[in-house]
């Protein structure tokens, strides 16, 4: 026990004189209260790394020209990040920490997609994410893990103080590019490429030309095959009339005994998320029979495109007007069918021949 000496006061009461140990305890209590007062004065409840409640959330997370759905809140973990620019090749994320939550030098560590990310909390924190060159809808999922490097974990290395943000980054499709054909090839029934009409430009996917004309020889060419390469992205189809094909399917065209044939194809994109009505780009492929073919014959008769069609008839008995009234006879007949009330005919003959166009009754037509 501790012996204490009492001395008489002015009125005879004993006066207590504290020992050195008591003085030390009192001093420590004052320091503890001072530390508590300092932390309370700060008003932020900061924690050291490894302590429970160490703050592992971002204060700011955004990116230019994007929309976060929902709007960013530090305690919300999942977001859709939609870009405004469908042609953007990358997105730059911007992050910041609540500096008032941390002691100097004791900030959380960060992993992005499982890889450690170095940063300076007193400078702009940015991370660029490549999105690639796809012209269709692009979706990229990215994770940002914020964690206490000194947090206790179990024997399996699990647990700890951390928070993970999951971003689903969405770049809309390029609505112009998804309907712009990337290639055009036209071949005959033998697989030989058809020639372009002289003076017309070659195929170039970067220009806005949508009409191309090819010439073909009559001999052994019942069909031609068109390979128009619409972009091979989800939502894009090749369209002919009301029929749809895969983007790179070949389309056959019947050009037998025709002077000219027009084929209209479309690259069409459908996705109501980005376009309430289908996006379309039209391509007109024209076929013209080589004129020199006609010069090797004793005559050919055609009707202009969309006005009708003439078929050659070798058995003259099948052609009502194959034999004229009079003393001259035709060596070839034609059966022509008009698509309307008015028909326009085109006749090709050798320079050694004469041509007369007559009505059924034998009178000359104007």
pLDDT at site 6: 46
241-256: average pLDDT: 89
* Chain segment 337-362, per-residue pLDDT in tens: 787 777 777 776 555 555 555 555 55
Distance CA 30, CA 19 (A): 17
pTM score, whole prediction = 0.64
Reported as a pLDDT band with limits 50, 70 and 90, residue 298 is low
Backbone φ and ψ for 340, nearest 5 degrees, come out as -150, -165
Residue 166 has pLDDT above 70, yes or no: yes
The more confident residue out of 156 and 188 is 188
| DSSP H or E run through 55 | none
Pairing of strands 211-216, 275-289: parallel
CB of 230 within 8 A of CB of 247?
A: yes
pLDDT at site 361: 54
**What percent of the chain lies above the pLDDT cut of 70?**
70
Give the tokens for residue 27. Answer: 């001093």
pLDDT at site 360: 53
Distance CA 95, CA 75 (A): 14
Backbone φ and ψ for 12, nearest 5 degrees, come out as 90, 0
* Chain segment 21-64, per-residue pLDDT in tens: 555 545 555 554 545 444 444 455 799 999 989 999 999 999 99
Residues 6+ apart with CB under 8 A from 3: none
Reported as a pLDDT band with limits 50, 70 and 90, residue 326 is very low
**Range scoring the smallest mean pLDDT among 100-104, 139-143, 258-262:** 258-262
Residue 68 has pLDDT above 90, yes or no: yes
Pairing of strands 14-15, 7-8: antiparallel
Reported as a pLDDT band with limits 50, 70 and 90, residue 204 is confident
**What percent of the chain lies above the pLDDT cut of 90?**
48
191-203: average pLDDT: 83
pLDDT at site 355: 55
């Amino acid at each position: 026990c501790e012996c204490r000496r009492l001395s008489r006061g002015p009125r005879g009461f004993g006066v207590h004189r504290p020992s050195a140990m008591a003085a030390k305890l009192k001093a420590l209590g004052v320091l503890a209260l001072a530390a508590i007062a300092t932390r309370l004065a700060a008003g932020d409840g900061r924690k050291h790394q490894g302590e429970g409640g160490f703050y592992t959330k971002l204060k700011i997370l955004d990116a230019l020209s994007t929309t976060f759905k929902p709007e960013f809140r530090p305690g919300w973990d999942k977001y859709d990040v939609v870009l405004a620019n469908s042609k953007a090749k990358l997105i730059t994320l911007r992050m910041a920490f609540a500096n008032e939550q941390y002691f100097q030098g004791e900030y959380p560590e960060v992993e992005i997609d499982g890889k450690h990310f170095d940063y300076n909390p007193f400078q702009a924190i940015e991370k660029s994410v490549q999105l690639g060159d796809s012209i269709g809808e692009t979706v990229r999922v990215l994770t940002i893990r914020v964690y206490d490097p000194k947090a206790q974990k179990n024997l399996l290395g699990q647990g700890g103080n951390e928070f993970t943000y999951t971003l689903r980054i969405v770049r809309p499709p390029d609505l112009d590019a998804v309907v712009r054909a990337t290639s055009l090839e036209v071949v005959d029934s033998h697989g030989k490429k058809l020639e372009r009409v002289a003076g017309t430009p070659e195929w170039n996917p970067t220009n806005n030309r949508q009409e191309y004309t090819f010439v073909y020889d009559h001999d052994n060419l019942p069909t031609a095959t068109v390979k128009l390469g619409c972009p091979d992205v989800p939502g894009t189809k090749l369209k002919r009339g009301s029929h749809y094909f895969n983007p790179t399917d070949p389309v056959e065209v019947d050009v037998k005994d025709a002077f000219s044939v027009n084929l209209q194809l479309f690259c069409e994109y459908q996705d109501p998320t980005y376009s309430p009505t289908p996006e379309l780009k039209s391509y007109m492929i024209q076929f013209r029979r080589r004129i020199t073919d006609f010069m090797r014959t004793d005559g050919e008769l055609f009707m202009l495109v969309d006005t009708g069609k003439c078929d050659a008839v070798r058995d003259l008995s099948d052609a009502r007007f194959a034999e004229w009234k009079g003393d001259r006879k035709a060596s070839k007949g034609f059966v022509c069918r008009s698509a309307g009330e008015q028909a326009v005919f085109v006749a090709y003959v050798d320079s050694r021949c004469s041509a007369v166009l007559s009505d059924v009754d034998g009178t000359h037509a104007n």
